[in-house]
């Protein structure tokens, strides 16, 4: 790289290959061809969107499924393309592992899996990252944190002097996309780090199962589980994301211990978890992501270990608008709404600001959606509630008028918006 290249900011280009699996030679050929194709036009590329015109390039059609341009904070004249070629397996296989010790007598036929493992990148998580909208640049901040820890690890910064724990905590009300963001970030990392790591794994730990009815065993369960996690992390050719959902159920134990009847057991669970997390922080190829709906209930010692404690709140009107718009577009794609163009938030906000009356149908529908977004935000709807609004609207107000057989023509957008407003 020339010195001017070194000052440039990377613009991430994600190239998804078609199955079945290709050789590394094909990967590098595809990378070179994409680089050549985009090089001529990269100052005109649109961020956070798919590139379309590669299909005419001979040789690319055969291998590529999608080319996606990532986020970027600087002007395109200051970027250098960083191309990540990846190929998710055609099926998303989830394996489960239990914490019952081999030959254990405990098997009473009620063995809740303690964790599940998903191979990354996975088809089931494709596109999830782009469907999530938050206030502020939460996604950028998380990616930035990962890149910084990578840089520090690579530069061999002395861990005794500068420390980090590789633990991220997302907390906030339920249904605001915390778990989805963890999964999406894991997928993003597997794609972006595909030139360093040959494969990735997402291990989702089921907090509740660790509090089994064999309560006094739970400390041992945590140890057994993390022994398996450590085994996976020891393979340094892969990257591992550990997701602990609703972490408060594990770490509230210490508080419970003060009043509960089995204080020593509860403490053992928390201590086992903290000890295991401390062991993982020395590994380069691991990230622990945790979520919680009740940050007040989390153990202080755990909170202290999280490098990033990010509050994820209810979506603001702009995010509500975007979520509903994406739902409506999808229903339109499926042919259940007759074609209508919905303006983007910025366009409709501008119209509202200038006080210009909507002059056509598209603008009128967009304005109705704008009002709906504000109404939903006032009702404090979570992302989860918003995404089911269309189904409820249809079931309650449109189901009778539009039978499945007439789905081909689609109901008018105005009717959908009105049904959603009533809901
Ligand atoms: P949490 O873990 O916070 O309870 P989830 O990650 O389970 O929430 O999200 C539930 C659903 O709601 C997901 O299908 C997700 O797509 C949707 N959702 C929630 N928040 C958002 C958001 N900010 N943007 C887009 N979709 C969201």
Highest mean pLDDT (candidates 179-183, 208-212, 258-262): 179-183
Instruction: With cut-offs at 50, 70 and 90, classify the pLDDT of residue 195.
Output: confident
Give the mean pLDDT of 168-188: 95
| Cis amide linkage into residue 360, ω under 30° from 0 | no
Given this model, what pLDDT does residue 169 score? Answer: 94
Q: How many whole angstroms from 133 Cα to the centroid of ligand 1?
A: 9
44 versus 314: the higher-pLDDT residue is: 314
Q: How confident is the model at residue 188 (pLDDT cuts 50, 70, 90)?
A: very high
For residue 170, what is the DSSP state? E
pLDDT, position 261: 53
Q: Helix 413-422 and helix 361-378: axis angle, to 10°? A: 20
How far apart are alpha carbons 143 and 276 in whole angstroms? Answer: 24
382 C-beta neighbours (distance < 10 Å), count = 17
Q: Give the model's confidence band at 3: pLDDT under 50 very low, under 70 low, under 90 confident, else very high.
A: very low
Q: Using an 8 Å Cβ cutoff, are 35 and 68 in contact?
A: no
Q: What local confidence, expressed as pLDDT, does residue 129 receive?
A: 93
Q: How far apart are CA 15 and CA 13, in angstroms?
A: 6
Q: Which helix (H) or strand (E) holds 205?
A: strand 199-205
CB-ligand 1 contact for 133 (6 Å cutoff): yes
Work out which ligand 1 atom sits closest to the CA atom of 384.
12
| Average pLDDT value for residue range 183-205 | 91
pLDDT band, residue 206 (cuts 50/70/90)? confident
The residue ranking higher by pLDDT, 175 or 215, is: 175
User: Which pLDDT score, from 0 to 100, does residue 407 have?
Assistant: 46
Among candidates 259, 171, 248, which has minimal Cα distance to 211?
A: 248
Q: What is the mean pLDDT of residues 141-157?
A: 85
Question: What average pLDDT does this structure show over 52-68?
Answer: 86
Q: What per-residue confidence (pLDDT) applies to 103?
A: 43
Q: 144 or 408: whose pLDDT is higher?
A: 144
Summarised one tens digit per residue, pLDDT across range 111-142 is 667 789 999 999 999 989 988 999 888 998 99
Q: Which of 384, 385, 388, 391 to mutate to test the pocket of ligand 1 (most atoms within 8 A of CB)?
A: 384
What is the Å distance from ligand 1's center to 214 Cα? Answer: 32
Ligand 1 atom closest to Cα of residue 315: 23
Query: Which is it for strands 308-311 and 167-171: parallel, antiparallel or unpaired?
Result: parallel
Q: Is 282 in the pocket of ligand 1 (CB under 6 A)?
A: no
122 C-alpha to center of ligand 1: Å?
A: 19
Question: Of 62 and 261, which is predicted with more confidence?
Answer: 62
pLDDT, average across residues 201-228:
78
Residue with the larger pLDDT of the pair 262 and 218: 218
Q: Closest residue (by CA) to atom 6 of ligand 1?
A: 177
Short-list 345, 338, 348, 335, CA closest to 405: 335
Give yes or no for residue 298 having a pLDDT over 80: no
- State pTM to two decimals: 0.87
Query: Where does the pLDDT of residue 48 fall: very low under 50, low under 70, confident under 90, or very high at 90 and above?
Result: confident
Residue 120 is predicted with a pLDDT of: 93
pLDDT at 215: 60
- Stretch among 20-34, 38-52, 377-391 having the lowest mean pLDDT: 38-52
Ligand 1 pocket check for 22: Cβ under 6 Å: no
Give CA–CA dist 225/114, Å, rounded. 7
Residue range 333-342: mean pLDDT, rounded? 90
Choose one of 128, 131, 170, 180 to mutate for the ligand 1 pocket test, by most ligand atoms within 8 angstroms of C-beta.
180
Confidence at residue 19, expressed as pLDDT on a 0 to 100 scale: 83
Q: Band the pLDDT of 246: cuts 50, 70, 90.
A: confident
Q: What is the pLDDT of residue 252?
A: 63
Residue that wins the pLDDT comparison between 144 and 249: 144
Give the pLDDT of residue 251. Answer: 66
Task: Report the pLDDT value the prediction gives residue 385, as an integer from 0 to 100.
Answer: 95
Instruction: Please say if the pLDDT value at position 343 is more than 90.
Output: yes
Question: What pLDDT is attached to residue 402?
Answer: 54
> Is 293 or 98 the better-scoring residue by pLDDT?
293
Q: Smallest Cα–Cα separation from 384: which of 327, 318, 340?
A: 327
Mean pLDDT of the chain: 84
Residue 333 clears pLDDT 80, i.e. is over it: yes
Residue whose CA lies nearest to ligand 1 atom number 25: 132
At 259 the pLDDT is 60
């Amino acid at each position: 790289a020339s010195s001017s290249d070194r000052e440039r900011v990377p613009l991430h280009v994600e190239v998804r290959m078609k199955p079945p699996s290709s050789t590394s030679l094909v990967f590098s050929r595809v990378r070179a061809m994409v680089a050549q194709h985009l090089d001529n036009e990269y100052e005109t590329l649109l961020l956070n969107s798919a590139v379309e015109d590669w299909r005419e390039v001979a040789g690319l059609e055969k291998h590529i499924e999608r080319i996606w341009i990532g986020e970027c904070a600087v002007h395109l004249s200051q970027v250098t393309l960083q191309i990540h070629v990846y190929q998710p397996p055609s099926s998303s296989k989830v394996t489960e592992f239990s914490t019952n010790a081999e030959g254990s007598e405990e098997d009473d036929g009620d063995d809740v899996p303690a964790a599940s493992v998903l191979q990354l990148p996975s088809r089931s998580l494709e596109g999830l990252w782009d469907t999530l909208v938050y206030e502020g640049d939460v996604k950028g901040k998380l990616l930035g944190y990962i890149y910084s820890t990578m840089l520090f690890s690579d530069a061999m910064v002395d861990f005794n002097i500068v420390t980090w724990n590789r633990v991220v905590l997302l907390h906030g009300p339920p249904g605001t996309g915390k778990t989805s963001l963890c999964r999406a970030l894991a997928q993003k990392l597997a794609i972006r780090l595909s030139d360093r790591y040959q494969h990735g794994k997402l291990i989702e730990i089921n907090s509740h199962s660790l509090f089994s009815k064999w309560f006094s065993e739970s400390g041992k369960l945590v140890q057994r589980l993390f022994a398996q996690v450590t085994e996976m992390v020891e393979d340094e050719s892969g990257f591992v994301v550990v997701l602990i959902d609703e972490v408060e159920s594990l770490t509230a134990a210490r508080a419970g211990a003060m009043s509960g009847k089995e204080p020593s057991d509860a403490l053992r669970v928390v201590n086992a978890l903290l000890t295991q997390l401390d062991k993982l922080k020395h590994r380069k190829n691991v990230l622990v992501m945790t979520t919680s709906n009740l940050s007040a209930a989390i153990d202080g010692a755990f909170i202290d270990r999280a490098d990033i404690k990010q509050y994820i709140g209810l979506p603001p009107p702009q995010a509500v608008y975007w979520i509903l718009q994406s739902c409506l577009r999808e229903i339109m794609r499926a042919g259940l709404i007759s074609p209508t163009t919905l303006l983007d938030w910025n366009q409709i906000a501008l119209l509202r600001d200038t006080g210009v009356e909507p002059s056509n149908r598209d603008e009128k529908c967009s304005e109705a959606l704008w009002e709906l977004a504000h109404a939903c935000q006032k009702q404090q709807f979570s992302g989860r509630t918003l995404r089911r609004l269309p189904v409820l609207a249809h079931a309650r107000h449109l189901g009778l008028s539009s039978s499945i057989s007439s789905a081909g023509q689609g109901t008018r957008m105005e009717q959908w918006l009105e049904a959603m407003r009533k809901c």
